[in-house]
């Protein structure tokens, strides 16, 4: 579903990604782990077609980036630590706006389904700026799955959420992944992703330094695996 070969990204003289190779099979849930400044967000922004690679090949769902970006965007749902929602519009108006951009047929039915999925049906007519951070993040997931994308990218979606909001977000994430979508999620919280992902990749100094499937590692050994991967980088 996602194939990345020898990806390089430079900002001026600074090289953030140094010949990164990465691939994800359809339906896989990959947690991308790494320290601050490792290049996780830059990598995700390239996958999301928000940033152009300096060199290398990126292919998502059979379409190459950046040349076929519009086709990739149609198949992609992105959630970051920012909600990407308009505070002065209601939850329903925000989703209706994105439904028009994604040319979704039967938008009203789909909006109701999505609000139900993220548990915000009762708040559909409230302005987003009155929502708590957790509710905004759930609505952000609703916005990202509105067009039923094949691939989901999550960039540290738990940032700034309290414990209850994190648990609720995890429930929604499981629901999203359970529908056979391919998911790539960056995170610092190993305990949290240990339960969610089916594979763990460590990104350090601009390359993937280690990769392991959940079946190959005990959840309480994930931290040791992560530290070893960083030490060997």
Partner 1 sequence: MQPIPQTENQVMRKEPTLGLGQFIRSLTAIIWKDMAAELRSRELLSAMLVFALLVILIFNFSLELDAQARTTVTSGVLWATFAFAGTLGLNRSMAMEKDRGCLDGLLLAPVDRSAIYFGKAIGNLIFMLIVEAIVLPVYSVLYSVNLFKPGLLLVILLGSIGYVAVGTLLSTMAVQTRTRDVLLPILLFPLVIPVLIAAVKGSTGFLQGAASEDILPWINLLIVYDVIFVAAAFMVFDYIVEE
Compare residues 69 and 230 and give the one whose CB is closer to partner 1. 69
Nearer residue to partner 1 within complex by CB, 78 or 172 = 78
| Nearest CA-CA partner of 50 in 83, 23, 78 | 78
- Minimum CB separation of residue 48 from partner 1 in Å reads 6
Q: Quote the DSSP letter at residue 186.
A: E
Instruction: Supply the minimum distance, in Å, between the C-beta of residue 67 and partner 1.
Output: 8
State the nearest-atom distance from the C-beta of 149 to partner 1, in Å: 10
**Angle 30-159-50 (CA atoms, 0-180°, nearest 5)?**
65
Q: Which residues bind partner 1 (CB under 8 A)?
A: 3, 11, 45, 48-52, 59, 61-64, 66-68, 70-71, 73-74, 76, 78, 80, 82-89, 93, 97-98, 100-103, 127, 143
CB nearer to partner 1: pick between 97 and 170: 97
Closest CA relative to residue 27, chosen from 227, 198, 214? 198
Beta carbon of residue 159, minimum distance to partner 1 (angstroms, whole number): 12
> Which two tokens mark 113?
């389904």
* Residue number with CB closer to partner 1 (29 or 63): 63
Exposed / middle / buried, residue 88 (Cβ in 10 Å: 0-12, 13-18, 19+):
exposed
Asked if 76 and 62 touch (Cβ cutoff 8 Å), the reply is no
């Amino acid at each position: 579903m996602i194939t990345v070969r020898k990806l390089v990204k430079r900002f001026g003289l600074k090289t953030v990604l140094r010949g990164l190779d990465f691939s994800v099979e359809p339906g896989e849930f990959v947690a991308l782990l790494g320290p601050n400044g490792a290049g996780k967000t830059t990598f995700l922004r390239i996958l999301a077609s928000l940033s152009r690679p300096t060199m290398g090949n990126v292919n998502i769902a059979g379409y190459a980036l950046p040349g076929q970006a519009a086709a990739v965007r149609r198949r992609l749902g992105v959630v970051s630590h920012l909600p990407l929602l308009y505070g002065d519009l209601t939850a329903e108006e925000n989703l209706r706006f994105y439904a028009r951009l994604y040319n979704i047929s039967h938008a009203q039915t789909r909006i109701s389904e999505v609000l139900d999925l993220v548990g915000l049906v009762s708040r559909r007519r409230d302005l987003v700026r009155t929502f708590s951070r957790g509710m905004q993040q759930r609505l952000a997931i609703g916005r990202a799955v509105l067009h039923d994308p094949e691939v989901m990218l999550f960039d540290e979606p738990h940032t700034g959420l309290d414990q209850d909001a994190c648990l609720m977000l995890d429930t929604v994430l499981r629901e999203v992944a359970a529908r056979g979508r391919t998911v790539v999620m960056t995170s610092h919280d190993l305990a949290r992703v240990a339960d969610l992902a089916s594979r763990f990749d460590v990104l350090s100094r601009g390359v993937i330094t280690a990769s392991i499937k959940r079946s190959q590692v005990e959840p309480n050994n994930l931290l040791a695996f992560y530290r070893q991967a960083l030490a060997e980088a």
